[in-house]
Amino acid sequence: MAFKIVSTSPTFGFYVQEPVDYLKAHGCELKLIPQGKKLSETELLECASESDAMIVAVEQITDRVIQAATNLKVIAKHGAGVDNIDMAAATGKGIVVTSAPGANSDAVADLTIGLFLALARQIPFADSSVKAGEWPRLIGTQFNKKTLGIIGVGQIGKRVARRAMGFDMEVLVYDVVEDREFAEKTGAKYLPLDEVLAKSDFISLHVPLTESTRHLIGARELGLMKQSAFLVNVARGGVVDEEALLEALNQKQIGGAAADVFSQEPPKGNPLLEIKNLIATPHMGMYTHEALIETGMICVRNIVDALEGRKPQFLNNPEVFD
């Protein structure tokens, strides 16, 4: 009997074919939810109840969804963070939860640097001005030889650091777990969070969304930053207190910010979208052709391994498999 796989991800199976072919080669039947369709909890319930495995993106996989899953054996995140999945419920029901950490690290690191450059040189404003028939004289900020602060030094944070060194930057980093070997090889300096915020000209966020990181950057933290500093969030929207960021930008407490992620996505009606010194992008950090192939292949290998009784490489609740 073929395994039934349903994907609610808006990107899996739509842009690259290799992961789809892998599933088919292993006897799996794949159902793709149409792009742009925002599923209700009831619709997610139906997807879970009819599947052996689910491929999910950022939609909330709640306890109610999981309890309705009579045949579900695997929930595979088409990405890295699993904060949208009720891990306790999945573990309690013996459902394997997998992810694809690191597969999109280069793509997100590239976007991080791109957003910094766009902020420093006011590229979006320059583009829209020229296209509107204007020819403004814009005075920007140089990126090279400045101080970059990186909050969260996992695979993405490390890649951002290495890119920054090509710009002759001083790199300050903060993480609850310190990788001293990385620091010695690259020259990055671990400092307390407050010092990283106070000393950096550019700051990027690369932490998962947990109870300890929710609103990690709030009014107090924004107040520690230089008035000329730029903040980039490519992690999760909830890591930043958006009301505090709105106030800081309105009051010109910081130089500007860029957000690829928001607390609610899409962020319709979010007052941050009205702020001129904020660049907004549509949670596109991982979306490159290369990253989608890598993420998709890790995702499907995890699924097939779990369904065929092998321990997946990227397992978030190993106690279930054990």
For 256, residues 6+ apart whose C-beta sits below 8 A from its C-beta are: 119, 230, 231, 249, 277, 278, 279
Q: Where are the alpha helices (DSSP H) in the chain?
A: 18-25, 41-49, 63-67, 87-92, 105-120, 123-131, 155-165, 180-186, 193-199, 219-224, 242-250, 289-307, 318-321
Going by C-alpha positions, the residue among 129, 67, 132 that lies closest to residue 94 is 67
Going by C-alpha positions, the residue among 209, 207, 253, 203 that lies closest to residue 228 is 253
How far, in Å, CA of 56 to CA of 75, rounded? Answer: 7
78 among known catalytic residues:
no
CB 4 within 8 A of CB 52: yes
How far, in Å, CA of 251 to CA of 244, rounded? Answer: 11
283 among known catalytic residues:
yes
Q: Out of 163, 206, 283, 301, pick the active-site residue.
A: 283
Residue whose token pair is 């860029």:
258
How far, in Å, CA of 125 to CA of 145, rounded? Answer: 24
Q: φ, ψ for residue 165 (rounded to 5)?
A: -65, -25
Collapse the DSSP code of 172 into the 3-class scheme (helix H, G, I; strand E, B; otherwise coil) and give the result.
strand
Q: Out of 236, 242, 294, 301, pick the active-site residue.
A: 236
User: Pairing mode, if any, of strands 278-280 and 74-77?
Assistant: unpaired
Q: Out of 41, 178, 265, 290, pick the active-site residue.
A: 265
Tell whether omega for the bond before 271 is within 30 degrees of 0, i.e. cis: no
How far, in Å, CA of 216 to CA of 204, rounded? Answer: 13
Which residues form the catalytic set? 236, 265, 283
